[in-house]
Structure 1
Amino acid sequence: MTILILCLLIATVMPILAKVPLAYAQNEMQGGYDNKEPRAQQACLKGFGARAKAAHENCFEALTMFAPGVLVCIATETIGPVITTLAITFIAARTIYLFAYWFNIHLLRSTAWLVGFGVSLALIYFAIP
């Protein structure tokens, strides 16, 4: 169960870590990082910055699918090698997703997204008695 909780922690922190490239892109804009109106500034991003923003936001979206899957497995005591492997696979897929998004490798990004989504569904499925 420790690995499941660790994966949940990583998935929870991932949106914050994904903010780093976004903040970098904002800081590179004329005038630097706009802490007074960061969302307005983010709306003006292009290229890498726009992709960093989308990747950051998608981390929150993915978390809303993964977290319930892990929590339902813990609640129903559906814990074993398959569930652990799924959770680790999710973290790996989401990490690949971020780098693929940042570096504009769209097919790899879409594949990694699909794997992460599939894992989230599988976690819930395996918890069904």
Structure 2
Amino acid sequence: MTVALWCILIAIFLPYLCTAVAKIGGGYRLRDNHDPRSFALTLDGFAKRAHAAQLNSFEITPAFAAAVIVAHLAGNAELVTINVLSVLFITSRLLYIICYLADWAILRSLVWFVGVGLIISFFFVSI
């Protein structure tokens, strides 16, 4: 398994890190597990931003996974390049989550664009 493929696994689980932060920050109790989606609607502040970061992480992960797989299948990009782009993407996602939790909206948006740019990069290096 390549580093890039391991990064897909990491990207799959990053949203759940945000879930844990949202639940802990929102005062989640096990009894709330009967209807966790309604609980998410009650969140505000830090916990609400953690939930939003979770949703965004779920949204972007399929694009990242597809880009890594396409880069592997195309066979034109060097493996080290694919691995570096993948690690940079995971780093951008961690920074994105930090920016979201800290409520640094402009920086968060910039980091999001970096992540999307990295996804696009996989296709260009595969040409």
TM-score by length of 2: 0.89
Kindly provide the amino acid, as one letter, of the partner of residue 59 in structure 1. S
Instruction: Compare 81-90 and 68-77 and name the one that shifted more.
Output: 81-90
- The Cα shift of 1:126 comes to 2.2
5+ unaligned residues in a row in structure 2: which ranges?
A: none
In 2: Cα distance, 1:65 partner to 1:99 partner: 21
Percent of matched pairs sharing the same residue: 33
Q: Which runs of 5+ in 1 are unaligned?
A: none
How many residues in Structure 1 have an aligned counterpart in Structure 2? 125
Letter in 1 for 2:109: S
Query: Could you tell me which amino acid in structure 1 is paired with residue 78 of structure 2?
Result: I
| CA distance, structure 1, for counterparts of residue 114 and residue 84 of structure 2 | 13
Q: Which structure shows the bigger proportion of residues in helix conformation?
A: 2
After superposition, residues 45-64 of structure 1 pair within 5 angstroms as 45-64=43-62
User: Residue type of the partner of 2:52?
Assistant: A
Correspondence for 1:74: 72
Residue in 2 that maps onto 1:92: 91
Please give the secondary structure, in 1, of the residue aligned with 2:33: coil
Q: 1:45: Cα distance to partner?
A: 1.0
Provide the C-alpha distance between the structure 2 equivalents of 1:79 and 1:9, rounded to a whole number of angstroms.
21
Deviation at 1:93, TM superposition (A): 0.5
1:18 equivalent in structure 2: 18
- Give, in whole Å, the separation in 2 of the partners of 1:88 and 1:64: 16
1:41 corresponds to: 39
User: Could you give the per-residue CA deviations for residues 45-67 of structure 1, whole angstroms, max 9, x where no partner exists?
Assistant: 11111101100111111102101
Q: Which residue of 2 aligns with 1:102?
A: 101
TM-score of the two chains, using structure 1 as the length reference: 0.88
C-alpha RMSD of the superposition: 1.6
